[in-house]
Amino acid sequence: MMNILVPIGTSSNANQTLQYAVDFAQDFGAEIYVMEVFNVSGKTGTLANITQKVADNSKERLKEIVGTVDTKDVSIKIASFNGELKDGLKEIDKGIGIDLIILAPRSNDIKEENYLGQTSGAIIKRTNIPTLIVPKGTAYKSFKNILVAFKSGILKRKRILDPLIEMKNKHNANVNLLMVKTPGYSDDDLKINTALMDISSQLTFTENSTTYHGVLEHFQAKQPDLLCVFRRKRGFFKKLWEKSTISKSEFYAPVPVLVLSVKKD
């Protein structure tokens, strides 16, 4: 795990997320890129000047946020992008190769009842890069107990489990699998990827209306300090494809959530 991207939005708690990322990066020997995306359009004659001014202001704001955290010995680089969020993510990933995105669930302009806001929801929805969602005020600590929840054990994408395996090995964590049988599941769904089985210490089967309800039922018993789920169009965060937010009634976790994509790049 070499390069970590931290998108900086309008949240007043952006420095907390960045501090978590710094502590995480120090533990894994990674570098951090902080990024802000803006969208400037106008007449050709003035567009270049306006874009440059906005870019300069963006970089200055990012520098101020970086200045509020204890950077330790972690390399932090600043990147800004003019355009759409999804294009900015693709551009920076193409340029340096992002191994992990670390972000907060929502920015401060989103209603409190939402877990994922417009920006954080869009990132989860539109990228295949592994993403770690860190709740507000969470201090970085070792992951000793990891709960992996899913409704299908089929994982076709190569190396999808790499971030999970790296975290498990780094912290010598126990990995508990939670296989949630939801209405309409098939026999193929019950075939669990061998690589996933190899890193686990326990497998639990449960039947619930959604994967999230399965997590709710077993969360206290498993007491994880990291929850891992898979990004599928009709999977854990399927509501993102109907809208770009997730309310706390649809999902909420008091611990960091690692989202891995099963979709091919």
How many residues can be counted in the chain?
Answer: 265
State which of 173-177, 205-209, 211-215 shows the largest mean pLDDT. Answer: 173-177
Residue 119: band (very low, low, confident or very high) from pLDDT cuts 50, 70, 90: low
In the sheet that holds 174-181, the strands lie side by side as: 76-82, 31-38, 3-7, 100-103, 131-133, 257-261, 226-231, 145-150, 174-181, 202-207
Q: What's the pLDDT at 109?
A: 43
Same fold, 2-103 and 145-261: yes
Query: What amino acid occupies position 155?
Result: L
Q: What are phi and psi of 96, to 5 degrees?
A: -125, -20
pLDDT at 108: 44
Which residue ranges make up each domain of the chain?
2-103, 145-261
Q: Which residue carries 């759409």 as its tokens?
A: 84
- Percentage of the chain beyond pLDDT 90 is 35
Which pTM value belongs to this model? 0.85
Q: Is the pLDDT of residue 163 over 80?
A: yes
Q: In the CATH hierarchy, which top-level class contains the domain 145-261?
A: alpha beta
Neighbours of 18 (CB within 10 A): 23
Q: How far is the CA of 56 from the CAs of 36, 61, 79, in angstroms?
A: 11, 9, 11
Region 100-122 average pLDDT: 65
d(CA 253, CA 132): 12
| Residue, of 126 and 172, whose pLDDT is higher | 172
Q: What is the arithmetic mean of pLDDT over 83-108?
A: 79
pLDDT at 137: 85
**Would you say residue 161 has pLDDT above 70?**
yes
Q: What is the CATH number of domain 2-103?
A: 3.40.50.620
| 129 compared with 245, residue with greater pLDDT | 129
